[in-house]
Structure 1
């Protein structure tokens, strides 16, 4: 696997085949750019500029993309690759190659004319640049660039009558103010060419509605139960004349900020250079690890409300969630040596701890966060501990004691005495959670009043995390010269109760939930083996790993339910209700593979054979990272045949946990 992904024409024999591979790049404030490798819109989340108006949320599709036509010798070649209602434009037939290193590059060949098109975001800004490098052939030619604009929330679609803008053209700067939000100013600049009103286009190039690109069909949205039709605003063409044998470089730029004079090629170079700096900083010299470092960067973003870093759970639609952030924390920030970002993330979330609970989700509209999670707070304590394992200096312990420790104490107190969502400690020292319609573990789907995976009671991973948290708090209290007897004594009690109640002798593994024992085989038990502080003997740990391997392992993750279970759902597809019913009922999840690999290596005592197998388990993700979202790892896959990306096309904890397991549990033990 190289650090650069290269795709040729065999990957887009049809437009449908080409649309199955996508790319995305982030801007560090919640916005992003993303499309398919053939340049078309495959889903309503595709655009060159998705701007975050209140970082990292309130994301709007602003600049859909550019479409190009080449006119030479009286013939027009349309490079547009797009599905419409009842037909397609197949511009991918002129696409010679697609390359993705840190930014995407399309290489087109039309007769003897070569066109390179690179898209890059300006990091820290809601700005995108599209850079063109053209080598013209032996005849005079004309390149026609058509910019497509919109202004809508990500994932929505736009009716024709909603595309209303105030517009002003001043030399080579076009300014658009959307009627729907008049405090937004979209600025578009081209360093080359003549702006031509679409109403003046030659008849051969005209469309029925000159100012609107109509009826874009999004196959992805349609297969998920939506109509999948969209429209875009196209007020001007930009025409660039090309003399015989002329070489020309120019760029266009779109932003919702003040338009400055930074060159588009400089933006692309800066984006690449920043990525290279992050890779060097990580210290890795392994290609998979370095590509995962690049993938990890997109999720670490600024949050306006705290002025600190946070983590987006997944692209293209998730915001920053407490549970996902803390699970992804080690892989994204510690393995990559981004320790300053790690501190900011811990400090950012500690500001929102309420009644001992870390927020489950920050809504997209900037309203109050939701706290319906039992595990985020326990993962938070784990994240703090891991931060100290990687850093461990006096200053680092001082930061934890001054900024975080009191809230960590609050978490333990709240869980031991009882807090919201029926979260509390029973007489046996174990934690129970959830009641009625509450969904407080990561298996959290509810459709109206239908709770798909209730897991009310004492979930196995929650109590594994509870014991882990108690042991961590004992260690920290000792370090800070505080009384640690409560944590020590309670941990002993929890260990005894856990062993008595959770072991399922018949299956040779752990119950998923007690006291009303749920014997379904799920991946949650793997954390009872993989966490730093665990409660089971070696024999039981090995049996758990064997059971999970036999019934849940599925190449790109662990199934959420055993294939032998009568409730197993083999595919995640269709309307939302159907997908929700399959989400945690067999669907393969990528992120638990990290815990499984850690547990697998542990119970096999890091033998050469175990490390070799674990290495294979990590490196199969190289195949997936050249599919779906290029250089990303999807949230989920089908349960029966884990191949096609489902859910978010790249997910923070998926990337983070593969990176963590590979660089912590595998590479250090390889020869």
Structure 2
């Protein structure tokens, strides 16, 4: 697989070194995460971030282990890095880094101080909230290595400050238990117990969020490194605190073996696919109840059904995980209610608030059966899928239902944003898409075909799916082509929601990428016209995928930056979404247009932001800097899927 390596020109340049982030997942929704330079730039960064009842409920525990080299003369070199509320950065250990590598998905740092070379490796024990950090003397010595353990215990989305009680520490063999939540163990433990005030996270400041927190210096580990090859290793783990993990060196070796096995099992064709297969592995987790689930993005998202189902084929079928995928689909089917799939429980309650998530579920089931030939699953889920069709024909939540006038799916509820373009600012949808969105009806047509096909495979009655499919296809072909030369984005949109005023409805012809679904799905309502697709690509395509709005539109926002309102206001108003590269490539191939060159930009991007992965979004304006989650499930999944097909 691709090994990402950077020298002092990147590691020692603070702005460059902090723009590249690494992620080591634990297979449960927790992780270790940070930057190439070692400076924490997000509230979410830490060496032990522990999942809770859902993948979105995470707590930050061990924040950092700051190394300091002490020579027999008493001279010291501090190798850690922190930014403070004053704007100063101290210590500046990144200036002593000669190399950073991400190999087999595991990070490795190498510091050089004259003839002394110290290396650090980090890994997590898969399936357990446990991080192992191993330091090794490569050259020079003898020296003493001390490791200052900076800790907290807080929600990953928040901060903890010194105006409250300090974290509670209890002695334990080789270290301490912090807040009864996680344990530290290593050589030469000495408790300290003091606050570090005003640690700053520059990325949170840039995102318009609280950027400072206070950290608890719980204590330090220390040991002598007399000759090259000597190590100092620390473990931190949550869960069963009495059950000590394997030695740290073994945890690292086991993680490396597992990652290589994951990649080999998928049979990738080249180094790029190897990197994407391993990136995909980060998102497939075992939830608290033991069933498979998908983390939508690191570091702040949990499980969202729309993201899961869009990602399904890339994460499961393109990586040899069909059995896990089968369990996931069965588990999600159990959440169906009134013909709708639960969207998320990340907010603390189960929510049914998408118009398209359920239709993506139909698509995922269809792809699973088509790829695996799993007729048993088709027969098992067919009653649930027919119930989806019945629920949509009869009408369900949020005004979601089939319009009897044309057989197309419509929806709308005040203040709600139910398509994937779901951003709201102060409770008001930014992209108001009530009515009949083009991709929703492409998914409806495709979903009806899936139900009819699975019924035929099972020798069962498809119910109303076949008739509904024919009517929806006829209406789609008649109504969606717009005078502009592309497809309408929304039909029968409520006029008061748009700047035209007046009563009734109107058809929105903004040039957006949603129409790609009308040409790219397995059973699409339209065959792509090469000339139209070229026109769409000319306006929307960037090196990292299609924009969400054409740049010549007055509402176009070229930078996805700033505070929450600024970012949400531009989220779907021109921001680039790499996941849309999947539908775009599918449409090009179906139209007979060249597609192989479309991956060049995103392949180069693997080493630019979230190392080895694909970001959630990018700026719509050049140079299309990456934004959003550095590690995003549907971005990775769709690039992997179409690259392997």
Do they fold alike, i.e. is TM over 0.5?
yes
Whether the aligned pair in 2 keeps the contact of 1:572 and 1:579 (CA below 8 Å) is yes
**What does residue 356 of structure 1 align with?**
339
Secondary structure, aligned partner of 1:221: helix
Whether the aligned pair in 2 keeps the contact of 1:418 and 1:425 (CA below 8 Å) is yes
**What does residue 48 of structure 2 align with?**
49
Secondary structure, aligned partner of 1:620: helix
What are the equivalent positions in structure 2 for 1:517-556 lying under 5 Å apart?
517-538=507-528, 541-556=529-544
Secondary structure, aligned partner of 1:235: strand
Alignment root-mean-square deviation, CA: 1.6
CA spacing shift, 1:537–1:333, aligned 2, 3 Å: closer
Whether the aligned pair in 2 keeps the contact of 1:556 and 1:642 (CA below 8 Å) is no
The answer to whether the aligner puts 1:417 opposite 2:407 as a matched pair is: no
Whether the aligned pair in 1 keeps the contact of 2:279 and 2:612 (CA below 8 Å) is yes
**What does residue 374 of structure 1 align with?**
355
Whether the aligned pair in 2 keeps the contact of 1:509 and 1:543 (CA below 8 Å) is no
Q: State the Cα distance separating 1:500 from its structure 2 match.
A: 1.4
**What does residue 433 of structure 2 align with?**
455
Q: State the Cα distance separating 1:578 from its structure 2 match.
A: 0.9
What are the equivalent positions in structure 2 for 1:423-572 lying under 5 Å apart?
423-427=400-404, 428-484=406-462, 486-504=464-482, 506-515=483-492, 516-538=506-528, 541-572=529-560
Offset from partner CA, 1:169-197 (integer Å, 9 cap, x none): 345131222xxxxxx4321100x3x2234
**What does residue 251 of structure 1 align with?**
233
Secondary structure, aligned partner of 1:363: coil
**What does residue 654 of structure 1 align with?**
635
Offset from partner CA, 1:419-469 (integer Å, 9 cap, x none): 001100012100001221121100111223422111010000011011111
Q: State the Cα distance separating 1:471 from its structure 2 match.
A: 1.2
Offset from partner CA, 1:564-600 (integer Å, 9 cap, x none): 1011011011111111111111111111111101111
CA spacing shift, 1:162–1:590, aligned 2, 3 Å: farther
CA spacing shift, 1:298–1:455, aligned 2, 3 Å: same
The answer to whether the aligner puts 1:598 opposite 2:598 as a matched pair is: no
Offset from partner CA, 1:231-255 (integer Å, 9 cap, x none): 2111212222233x45312310011
Specify which of 199, 205, 220 is matched with residue 216 of structure 1.
Answer: 199
Q: State the Cα distance separating 1:485 from its structure 2 match.
A: 6.3
Q: State the Cα distance separating 1:221 from its structure 2 match.
A: 0.6
Specify which of 216, 225, 246 is matched with residue 208 of structure 2.
Answer: 225
Q: State the Cα distance separating 1:622 from its structure 2 match.
A: 2.1
Taking the aligned partners of 2:305 and 2:61, their CA distance within structure 1 comes to 28
Taking the aligned partners of 1:48 and 1:248, their CA distance within structure 2 comes to 22
CA spacing shift, 1:57–1:584, aligned 2, 3 Å: closer
**What does residue 637 of structure 1 align with?**
618
Taking the aligned partners of 1:352 and 1:212, their CA distance within structure 2 comes to 45
The answer to whether the aligner puts 1:237 opposite 2:220 as a matched pair is: yes
Q: State the Cα distance separating 1:537 from its structure 2 match.
A: 4.3
What are the equivalent positions in structure 2 for 1:184-333 lying under 5 Å apart?
184-190=180-186, 192=187, 194-198=188-192, 211-243=194-226, 245-257=227-239, 258=241, 259-305=243-289, 307-333=290-316
CA spacing shift, 1:655–1:642, aligned 2, 3 Å: farther
Q: State the Cα distance separating 1:55 from its structure 2 match.
A: 4.4
Secondary structure, aligned partner of 1:626: coil
CA spacing shift, 1:546–1:135, aligned 2, 3 Å: closer
CA spacing shift, 1:544–1:410, aligned 2, 3 Å: farther
The answer to whether the aligner puts 1:15 opposite 2:14 as a matched pair is: yes
**What does residue 129 of structure 1 align with?**
132
**Count of aligned pairs:** 625
Taking the aligned partners of 2:247 and 2:409, their CA distance within structure 1 comes to 57
Gaps of 5+ in 1: 178-183, 199-209, 665-671
Offset from partner CA, 1:462-513 (integer Å, 9 cap, x none): 1101111111111111111222363222211111111111111x32110000
Specify which of 562, 565, 570 is matched with residue 577 of structure 1.
Answer: 565
Whether the aligned pair in 1 keeps the contact of 2:617 and 2:626 (CA below 8 Å) is yes
Taking the aligned partners of 1:275 and 1:383, their CA distance within structure 2 comes to 26
Whether the aligned pair in 2 keeps the contact of 1:381 and 1:472 (CA below 8 Å) is yes
Specify which of 133, 141, 144 is matched with residue 142 of structure 1.
Answer: 144
**What does residue 29 of structure 2 align with?**
30
Whether the aligned pair in 2 keeps the contact of 1:131 and 1:250 (CA below 8 Å) is yes
Q: State the Cα distance separating 1:163 from its structure 2 match.
A: 5.3
Q: State the Cα distance separating 1:27 from its structure 2 match.
A: 0.8
Offset from partner CA, 1:600-625 (integer Å, 9 cap, x none): 111016xxxx1xxx222113222111
What are the equivalent positions in structure 2 for 1:384-403 lying under 5 Å apart?
384-392=365-373, 396-402=374-380
Taking the aligned partners of 1:413 and 1:602, their CA distance within structure 2 comes to 31
Taking the aligned partners of 2:218 and 2:139, their CA distance within structure 1 comes to 27
Taking the aligned partners of 1:536 and 1:77, their CA distance within structure 2 comes to 65
Taking the aligned partners of 2:559 and 2:375, their CA distance within structure 1 comes to 46
Secondary structure, aligned partner of 1:354: coil
Taking the aligned partners of 1:439 and 1:235, their CA distance within structure 2 comes to 45
Whether the aligned pair in 2 keeps the contact of 1:310 and 1:348 (CA below 8 Å) is no
Q: State the Cα distance separating 1:274 from its structure 2 match.
A: 1.3
Gaps of 5+ in 2: 493-505
Whether the aligned pair in 1 keeps the contact of 2:56 and 2:301 (CA below 8 Å) is no
Taking the aligned partners of 1:86 and 1:383, their CA distance within structure 2 comes to 48
Secondary structure, aligned partner of 1:622: helix
**Which 4+ stretches in 1 moved above 3 angstroms?**
none
Whether the aligned pair in 2 keeps the contact of 1:301 and 1:312 (CA below 8 Å) is yes
Whether the aligned pair in 1 keeps the contact of 2:519 and 2:527 (CA below 8 Å) is no
Offset from partner CA, 1:346-366 (integer Å, 9 cap, x none): 0121111111111222225xx
CA spacing shift, 1:319–1:197, aligned 2, 3 Å: closer
**What does residue 87 of structure 2 align with?**
86
**What does residue 75 of structure 1 align with?**
75
**What does residue 502 of structure 2 align with?**
none
Secondary structure, aligned partner of 1:128: strand
Whether the aligned pair in 2 keeps the contact of 1:555 and 1:642 (CA below 8 Å) is no
Secondary structure, aligned partner of 2:117: strand
TM-score normalised over the length of structure 2: 0.94
Secondary structure, aligned partner of 2:52: strand
Secondary structure, aligned partner of 1:345: helix
Taking the aligned partners of 1:223 and 1:170, their CA distance within structure 2 comes to 40
Q: State the Cα distance separating 1:14 from its structure 2 match.
A: 2.6
The answer to whether the aligner puts 1:108 opposite 2:86 as a matched pair is: no
